[in-house]
Amino acid sequence: MNMLEIVAPCNTEVISCWSLDHRSHIARYQQICWVANQVFGNSALSADWMKTSRVEFGGQAPCFLLSTSSGYSVIYKWLMRLDHGICI
């Protein structure tokens, strides 16, 4: 007889129960984190940048702006300008 046993905890989250808004926010956050890692060259720097209030974003942290697609666009364009050396 085969016995069931727990081998390791399952770390996957049930994404289907998240609202569409939350799933969209998570997707935008992951995409911007990837871009920020490319621009800053360091995941620790980009994570800190995402959580810190910025004057260029009206005193808000970039992660808060990701709740809307227009906020995503603002952050993405800002990162692209920084990456290409365009005066911000």
Predicted TM-score (pTM) of this structure = 0.74
Given a contact cutoff of 8 angstroms between Cβ atoms, the answer to whether 68 and 24 are in contact is: no
Is 7 inside any structural domain?
no
Interval 2-9 mean pLDDT: 48
Is 3 inside any structural domain?
no
Cα 80 to chain center, whole Å? 15
Sign of CA dihedral 29, 35, 39, 42: positive
Is 71 inside any structural domain?
yes
Residue position matching structure tokens 């974003």: 57
Domain count, the chain: 1
Is 4 inside any structural domain?
no
Question: Per residue in 34-78, pLDDT tens?
Answer: 999 999 999 999 999 999 999 999 999 999 998 888 998 999 999
Is 74 inside any structural domain?
yes
- Given this model, what pLDDT does residue 49 score? 93
- Given this model, what pLDDT does residue 17 score? 74
Is 8 inside any structural domain?
no
* Tokens describing residue 47: 């994570």
Q: Which amino acid appears at position 83 of this protein?
A: D
Which domain does 65 fall in, by range? 18-84
Helices assigned H by DSSP within the chain: 20-40, 43-51, 62-65, 69-84
Is 70 inside any structural domain?
yes
